[in-house]
């Protein structure tokens, strides 16, 4: 019988106790100390080396703490446009109070002595950056794993946090190389040629709002468009009218993210918009026989329309990014509409204030529009400054009225306001022209085009915006009234005209908010 500790035998097979080498029991974090030293030495040897690595490396990318401090001193010198060499770096370290922490001047001298040139500094810098990202992924996965084992953490919240942190890490590695102008010119000419072949002359997505399309040339790819208004001004009615027109009339795939209303509520409003049945009847279900026939006849327009609705409440920018990519990939979505921006969040990231969070959301939306190369329309609330002002002109929204963040104005390629003078009991302008049933889309910012006002007809009982040229759709009794034609756009020299406020169809509109 074999003694204790002797190898056991079964037939001719001997099992030996395996010993795990110490190096396999623990792992060093990804690092490249020698390359870090080579990069720092090259930066102090070659005066033109810093611009090459400045957009690749940050101080925290270095594994060694002393290397972080040295690179920080180099960045400080570059920011002050001072020369970078062994002597200036030592002097900057003294000013920063970290010369002793890095090991004194001897360490700086050693770094410059280990490299002969800066020939491969960019390649070395990219390896250092990759090692940093690998360490961040290890840190991130370890934190998520620990929280996943902790049953006090909600799994849904943890998944959002994980997605947010992973997105943040991935963004650090997003670098787009510069391109020579020739291929960009060719791309611009191709787009121009396609636009020239279209009868409407538009280069972007057609909305069905004729005068708006003329001013914007259609919604342009990669643009972030903010449509802002005070509550009950008709923001949702406007984008639903637009989404229905684009999806039904032009077969453009549209994705609508509604953070405020459920998908059934949205579809009910689309039914009201399309079937021209008052909203209160759709809510109550009390339809007359002819209205049931009208519903069955017109609702067929909505079937099979490429309109995709998501009613996830409190949607995060990270969830939006994931869903948007899938919609573009699987359904060919050409435009995304968000109702509305202030209800979104940036979970998984910490902020000092709500204003900082909204700023991050608006920047993320602009980044997403560029990444997917489609327009993103985001609705936004206005602050109460509009209500405090008096007079017809005072009620018109301004860029300063955008709520919670000036970053929205900065990030947006276009900012539009919806203004209905009738809402403020203004039935006539200073020239006696009717304002009843009229809405203004005020283009206050247009990065790539003109600003101005576009006039539309608003029909509150159907929650619908439409072209002024579509007034033939209004009941015949009103069309028989002698009226002047209203210009679709105007300046201080041209004034609006419209239908008399005494017409039966409009006489109660000022007290009837959008459905």
How many angstroms separate the CA atoms of 203 and 323, rounded? Answer: 26
Sorted by sequence, the CB contacts under 8 Å of residue 22 that are 6+ apart come out as none
* CB burial readout 343-368, b (16+ within 10 A) else e: bbbbbbbeeeeeebbbbbbbbbbbbb
SS3 508: coil
DSSP state of 205: B
Closest CA to 468 of 509, 446, 440: 440
Does residue 260 carry a catalytic annotation? yes
Paired tokens of 482: 């002698």
Identified catalytic residue from 91, 260, 276, 371: 260
Beta strand ranges found along 213-304 (DSSP E): 224-229, 254-258
The two three-digit tokens of residue 97, written as one number: 């109070």
* Residues 6+ positions from 500 with CB-CB distance below 8 Å: 434, 436, 481, 483, 506
Q: How far, in Å, CA of 77 to CA of 295, rounded?
A: 72
Q: How far is CA 156 from CA 151, 299, 343, 476, in A?
A: 12, 37, 18, 55
Residues making up the chain, counted from first to last: 515
CA distance linking residue 268 with residue 295, whole number of Å: 12
The span from the CA of 149 to the CA of 432, in Å, is: 71
- Across-strand partners of 464? 459
What residues are labeled active site?
Answer: 260
């Amino acid at each position: 019988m074999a003694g204790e500790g002797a190898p056991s035998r079964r037939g001719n097979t001997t099992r030996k106790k395996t010993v795990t080498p110490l190096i396999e029991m623990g792992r060093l974090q990804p690092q490249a100390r020698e390359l870090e030293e080579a990069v720092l030495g090259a930066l102090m040897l070659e005066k033109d080396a810093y611009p090459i690595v400045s957009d690749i490396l940050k101080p925290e990318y270095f594994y060694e703490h002393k290397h972080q401090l040295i690179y920080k001193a180099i960045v400080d010198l570059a920011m002050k446009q001072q020369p970078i060499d062994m002597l200036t770096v030592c002097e900057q370290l003294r000013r920063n109070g970290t010369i002793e922490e890095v090991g004194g001047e001897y360490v700086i001298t050693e770094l410059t002595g280990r490299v002969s040139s800066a020939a491969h500094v960019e390649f070395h810098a990219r390896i250092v950056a990759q090692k940093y990202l690998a360490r961040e992924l290890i840190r991130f996965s370890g934190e998520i794993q620990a929280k996943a084992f902790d049953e006090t953490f909600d799994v849904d919240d943890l998944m959002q946090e994980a997605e947010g942190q992973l997105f943040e890490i991935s963004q650090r590695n997003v670098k787009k190389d510069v391109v020579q102008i020739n291929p960009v010119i060719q791309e611009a000419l191709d787009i121009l040629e396609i636009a020239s072949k279209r009868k409407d002359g538009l280069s972007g997505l057609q909305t069905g709002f004729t005068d708006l399309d003329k001013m914007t040339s259609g919604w342009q790819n990669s643009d972030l468009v903010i449509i802002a208004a005070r509550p009950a001004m008709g923001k949702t009615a406007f984008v639903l009218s637009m989404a229905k027109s684009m999806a039904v009339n032009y077969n453009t795939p549209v994705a609508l993210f509604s953070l405020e209303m459920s998908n059934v509520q949205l579809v009910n409003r689309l039914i009201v918009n399309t079937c021209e049945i008052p909203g209160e009847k759709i809510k109550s279900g009390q339809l007359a026989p002819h209205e049931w026939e009208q519903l069955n006849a017109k609702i067929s327009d909505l079937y099979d329309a490429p309109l995709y609705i998501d009613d996830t409440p409190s949607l995060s920018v990270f969830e939006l990014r994931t869903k948007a990519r899938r919609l573009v990939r699987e359904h060919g979505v050409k435009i995304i509409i968000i109702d509305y921006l202030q209800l979104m969040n940036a979970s998984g990231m910490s902020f000092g204030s709500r204003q900082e969070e909204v700023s991050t959301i608006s920047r993320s939306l602009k980044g997403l529009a560029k990444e997917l190369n489609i327009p993103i329309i985001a609705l936004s609330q206005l602050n109460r400054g509009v209500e405090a002002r008096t007079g017809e002109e005072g009620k018109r929204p301004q860029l300063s009225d955008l709520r919670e963040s000036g970053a929205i104005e900065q990030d947006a390629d276009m900012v539009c306001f919806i203004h209905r003078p009738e809402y403020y009991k203004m039935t006539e302008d200073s020239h006696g022209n009717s304002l009843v049933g009229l809405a203004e889309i005020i283009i206050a910012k247009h990065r790539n085009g003109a600003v101005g006002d576009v006039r539309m007809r608003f029909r509150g009982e159907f929650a619908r915006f439409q072209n002024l040229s579509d007034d033939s759709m209004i009941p015949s009794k009103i069309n028989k009234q002698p009226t002047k034609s209203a210009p679709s756009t105007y300046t201080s020299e041209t004034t609006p005209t419209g239908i008399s406020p005494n017409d039966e169809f409009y006489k109660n509109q000022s007290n009837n908010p959008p459905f």
